[in-house]
Amino acid sequence: MDKFIVSKSKLSGTVRVSGSKNAALPIMAATLLSEEKFVIKNVPSLKDITTMIKILEVLGKKISFQANTLTVESKTKRRYVAPYRLVKTMRASFCCLGPLLAKRKKAKVALPGGCVIGPRPVDLHIKGLTHLGADISIERGYCQAKADNLKGNHIYLGGPFGSSVLATANVMMAAVLAKGSTLIEHAACEPEINALGQFLKKMGADIQGFGTPLIRIKGKKSLAGCEFKVIPDRIEAGTFIAASLATGSGLEIKGAEPGHLTSVFEIAKKIGAKITVNNKTKSIKVKTPGKLKAVNITTLPYPGFPTDLQAQFMACLAKAKGISLIHEKVYPDRFMHLAELNRMGASIQKLGPYAIIEGQKNLKGAETQASDLRASAALVIAGLAAKGGSKVSRIYHIDRGYENIEEKLQKLGANIKRIK
């Protein structure tokens, strides 16, 4: 199992953001809605992408993946089972349920796995698809669904912690082939949902309002193949902003979409960063000249502060002067990284869905292990800011969501290396 060796570093230079994993995975699942050819560009080379390729191949697709371009063609139409051995490794694989049901009239998809960040039920997925006329049951760890003819409906997708990105995606993909009109109310507004909507529209779907809480869809009998470019990864861009803050560095982030990061900029500026944005060139310049300041952060569905950046910014606030408070309102148990940061000299306490962070002058290198994808990024950031060397184990988590992360950091001057 690979590890990172990380030591205190000052970063400088330019880094380019990869395509969005969280956008690419539902888009890949949507290719199940047509038997025609797809060419999808700017797809990051990640473990999760490889897993989704394997799932699609099991479901009858022929796929090639070279130079961040994914070509998807059909080999057989008959398969409809997404097996546990693949689905268990990531939650986004559950997005196969909607398109399989819509196109092949039945689906058997293992209940999903992914990062250990607290309970993430699939009840909103089932609710939405049931409202479209699907007959769904949970048996022996699999979600089994069938529907001879899906029918459009008015569906409310709000949950106890707000909207659900993947449930919205699943219902969208099923509704585009359902008979009649569908209105999805309290839909997720994340840029990744907007990207999926753009992709479905390019396939010929009659869909409006994606990226807003109200999505209107008129079902079509069939959809076509298309070419598409995946949006930049806003979470990767935010992770580099956090690294700049924690290390007191200045760097330029290229290829990101600044409009996706407004809430992140707001928090970063309060902590002490100076941020300059060029919307034309998609460039973000970050400088952290002074000491970090304590802030309060509340994670919320988009356009609020992303839960996927909570851990990385906690690593920054561990060095900020004063007491910070993080309120996790998306996944209230998403604090597995807290104990590992405390091993590095941080002073963080958990109180229900809150983390209370008393900033320390220095962090100290230690042996740590990652519990999930974003926690692994937080531990790397802390290692870059800490005195002495750190070891971060279980970095297969970070390989799921960050393309060539150590190479990108090394080009910025980071003291980080991978060991077997």
The two three-digit tokens of residue 114, written as one number: 């992914």
Rounded Cα–Cα distance for residues 212 and 168 (Å): 11
Rounded Cα–Cα distance for residues 135 and 105 (Å): 10
How much is the CA Rg of the chain, to the nearest whole Å? Answer: 21
**Sheet containing 296-299, strands listed edge to edge, beginning at the edge strand earlier in sequence:** 296-299, 323-328, 354-358, 347-351
Q: Which residues are catalytic?
A: 115
- C-beta separation of 150 from 221 below 8 A: no
- C-beta separation of 94 from 83 below 8 A: no
Q: Which residues pair with 283 in a beta bridge?
A: 254, 278
Q: How many CB atoms lie within 10 A of CB 390?
A: 27
Reduced to 3 states (helix: H, G, I; strand: E, B; else coil), residue 76 is: coil
- C-beta separation of 192 from 199 below 8 A: no
Rounded Cα–Cα distance for residues 109 and 56 (Å): 12
Q: Which residues pair with 42 in a beta bridge?
A: none
216: amino acid identity, one letter:
R
